Structure formats: C-alpha cells, structure tokens
Structure 1
C-alpha cells in the first residue's frame, strides 16, 4: 500500500506513508488512536533464514494488525537494530549498544506522545530485547504517566500474546532461534527470506519440521492475539505498570512445567 492510499480515503498502515496534514487530522479527529512500534533485530538466523527475520516478522504482524484495525492503528519501525551482542561472532549481525537502542525506542514513543497519541504498543520480534526492556519498562511507563496522565505504553513480544496456542502447534517452547516456529512463519509470511537448499542441508534440525501451512496458522495466531490486545488497550484495559517476563524466567517456567508430577510418575 503506497502513501497515495490516504488521498483515496484509506489510511495506510505505516506512519511514514502519511503526509503531515493527514497524520495531524487523523489524530485531532480521533480516528488514529494507537501506534504499534515494531522492534526486532538484524542478526544471524542460521544458514537458511535471512538476517532481518526478527524485525521483518514483527513489522509484518504489526502491519497486518493495523490493516484490520484501520484507521485506528498505525505502525512505526524506527530501527533495524536490536540488542544482539551474543550473535556478533557471526558476520553480518548488527548490534546496538543498550543505551543507544533504548534512546531510539524511547524517543520514538515520546514523539508520538507529544503529537497526541495516547496508546503505544512496542511489539517485539527479538528475544534478546526482552530482558533489557524488562529492566526499564516500568520507569518509562511512570515517566509517560507523569507527563501525560492518560498515556498507556506496553511492551510485548508477538509470540507471548498467544504463547500457549503457538506452543501447541510446534510442540516446543517458542520462539526458539531459526527453528520450527520462526521458519514456519517465514515460509508463509516472508518466503523470499528462506533458503530451501540450506534448510534441507541440516536434517534432524527442528527447522526441518517447518511448513508453510503451520506458518499460516502461527502468523494468524500472532496477528489475532495482537489485534485483540490493541482493541483491549483502546477500551482502557492493560494500563498496569508492568514488569515483563524475561527469557530466562520463561525458560525456568517451561522447565518446571515439563517435570512430571509425583502422580504422573506413579501412574506411568
């Protein structure tokens, strides 16, 4: 969808596709109510997935949500960088320092707040961003609530909004890294990002379980759950000052949930 769609009466999904007049009037007229800020990373995803998978998939989910909820929602994707120091051993990976990355995300949210937006969901596509944001999100929320009392800022990774549904489909914890979950979604939503020859060269990998059909279902789960969350934000829900669940905490929870109970051991 190009920027001219606004001139024909249909709001575009990306903020950069608006003219300044269109954006100003959409906010002042009460039509545009929420911004999804898509964040992710550009980093190695094994030999079979393009390195922009994290930011590309987060943006894809966000744009699909914006299309469903038009004209109330628009998407901004301010940076292709994430916090990826742990992947810098692989050439091509890009990483930001935490302070620089926080500044870009914070300033993006603050820009929308200054222009009258009162609901912002930062939608994440890179697990490595979760723990750092976990340590600062509550401070951001308190800052914006002080400056704009009716402002609501939330942060979620798209897989966390329907984690149980996704894990039922893939049978393991999500998202993994370039495994079944991410590869299936890429086969469906970002087919140009998948090297099928490289994928076939790693028999036994979880990635080889991926299918386009599974990816369609996983992508729909993510889009539907995110859209529902945004609708609830617009209805005044999810205003809590929250502390996210880090990747490490989720791993420990998954491990605890996988340990058989004494009853199941006895009955096996």
Structure 2
C-alpha cells in the first residue's frame, strides 16, 4: 500500500508511477456514548487504504480529519469547519494533486455533512481542470445497505449515526476503540418522501440514531468486504475503458 504521509521523497520517485489518488474525508464529532469521535475519519481512511492495497498505482493521500459538523454541535466534543472552509480545503488539495501530475482523484467520504462541500469543490475543480477525473463515494453507509442482502440488518436498515451499521463496521475495523457496554440509540420519526433539515439534537438525546446494540463484527466485515470490492471493481472497470465514460456521441 502506498501512503503519501509515510513515504520519503526517494520512495515516491523510485516507487510506482502513481496516476491515481484516493482522499478520505472524515469528521471529529460525538458518536453516541460508545464510538470514538474520529469514527468517520477512521472508517473512510481505513477503507481507502484497503482499496489501495488492491489497486495498482493508487496513492493514499492524508485524510481530512475535520469536516462540516455544525449540525452535531449540541453534543460535545464537536470540531467543525465552515462549509466554505471545507470547500476551499478540498479544492486546494485536489489542485495540489493535479499539479503533481495525478489527475484521477477518488474521494472516500465518511460523514454526511461533507457531501455538499465535496460536490461544490469537485464541480469547481472540473471547471478549472476539465481533464481531471473526480469520483466520490458520498455515503458508504447507504451504499453498503444496497449491496448487502435485505435481511442483513435488524433495525432501520442498519442506518443511523453511530447506529447498527456504523457500529458494526467500527467493530470490524477498530474494535479496540469501542465501548459497546455504553451503546444506546433511538430511531427518529423521519418521513421517506421529503428531506428534513434537522440538527441532530432534534433526533436523539444520546448522540446516536438507529440501534447500535444490534451491531456485530460479522456484519461489519460484510460491509467492509462489499464496499472495498465495489470500489476496487470501479477502478478496474475504469482502467479497462481508459477512463472514457462519455457516450460515443460526445465530442469531449
């Protein structure tokens, strides 16, 4: 695996000819009473590293450890960037990567508050560097649910902040940091037809939604496997078509 932070200049220049990079984006915020504050960063960065272990010439960039978490600020201890700050950070990092000759960038996101800034930053970079290929996995927690059998989870389809799914993947990736004896969550009453712009204190009194007590390491390993396989398969497919995802009629 090729992690930029751990490389020397000699290793970079004399190693693989990197033409792709993967960037994990996380957060530092309350995850109930049982998960660590860095859960979103740990999950996204560990998944990124596992993908890079199977994809040749993929460089793992340093993760962004703090995201947009203002909507979780009622629960201590929340660190947050402003939307415009995260957009600027993402744009600066992607610009740096492109200027270093890597024009294929995969963003592995671990936190809901980062989705909108990632979209704005990526669109902006595409306008400035149209030759760049920018891809993001915005919500692994949703993607995993779609990839796994329907009966994998017991409560709320495994969803929730620090809920069954997120706690399960934490048990698979960093069990030593989890205190399951303190796990507790609630399932909020949210409609399917519209998107309520909540702050998290409106949904739960314990910093967690869903039911983390139903989490298991086995479920987490299944999530890890399907997510890594999906992203690795994506890279293989793109390599086979030389990253030409335009229609035959397109002139670009």
Q: Same fold (TM over 0.5)?
A: yes
Post-superposition Cα deviations, 1:200-251, rounded to whole Å, max 9, x if no partner, equal x6699611111111111111111111111222333434756xxxxxxxxxxx
Gaps of at least 5 residues in structure 2 are 188-209, 247-252
1:68 match: secondary structure: coil
TM-score (norm 1): 0.74
Structure 1, unpaired ranges of 5+: 1-11, 241-268
Is 1:21 the counterpart of 2:10? The answer is yes
**CA gap 1:184/1:237 in 2 versus in 1, 3 angstroms:** same
The alignment status of 1:45 with 2:28, answered yes or no, reads: no
2:49 corresponds to which residue? 63
Q: Which of the numbers 132, 137, 141 marks the counterpart of 1:156?
A: 137
Distance (whole Å) between structure 2 residues aligned to residue 238 and residue 170 of structure 1: 37
Residues 1:138 and 2:128 are matched in the alignment: no
Q: 2:224 corresponds to which residue?
A: 219
Q: Deviations over 1:51-77 (max 9, x none)?
A: 10001100000000111124x112113
Report deviation, 1:81.
0.4
Distance change >3 Å, CA 238–CA 223, structure 1 → 2: farther
State the Cα distance separating 1:14 from its structure 2 match: 1.1
Checking the alignment, whether the CA contact within 8 Å between 1:78 and 1:105 is kept in structure 2 is: no
State the 1:79 CA deviation. Answer: 2.2
> d(CA) in 2 for partners of 1:109 and 1:175?
30
User: How far 1:175 moved relative to its partner?
Assistant: 4.5
The answer to whether the 8 A contact 1:161-1:225 is kept is no
Q: Give the 3-state SS of the residue equivalent to 2:37 in structure 1.
A: coil
What is the aligned length? 220
Q: Which position in structure 1 is the counterpart of 2:96?
A: 111
| Counterpart pick for 1:35 among 8, 21, 33 | 21
Measured in 2, the distance between the counterparts of 1:167 and 1:89 equals 35
Q: Which of these residues, 113, 121, 129, is aligned with residue 114 of structure 2?
A: 129
Paired residues for 1:164-175 under 5 Å: 164-166=146-148, 168=150, 169-170=152-153, 172-173=156-157, 175=159
Q: TM-score, normalised by structure 2?
A: 0.78
Q: Deviations over 1:157-210 (max 9, x none)?
A: 3345554124732264564210011000011111022112202x6699611111
Q: 1:195 to 1:112 in 2, by over 3 A?
A: same
Change in CA separation of 1:174 and 1:124 when aligned onto 2, cut-off 3 Å: farther
Give distance in 2, aligned partners of 1:65 and 1:13. Answer: 11
Shift of 1:94: 0.6
Q: Which structure dedicates a bigger proportion of its chain to helix?
A: 1
Structure 1 residue 143: deviation in Å? Answer: 1.6
**How far, CA to CA, are the matches of 1:210 and 1:182 in structure 2?**
8
RMSD of aligned residue pairs (Cα, Å): 2.4
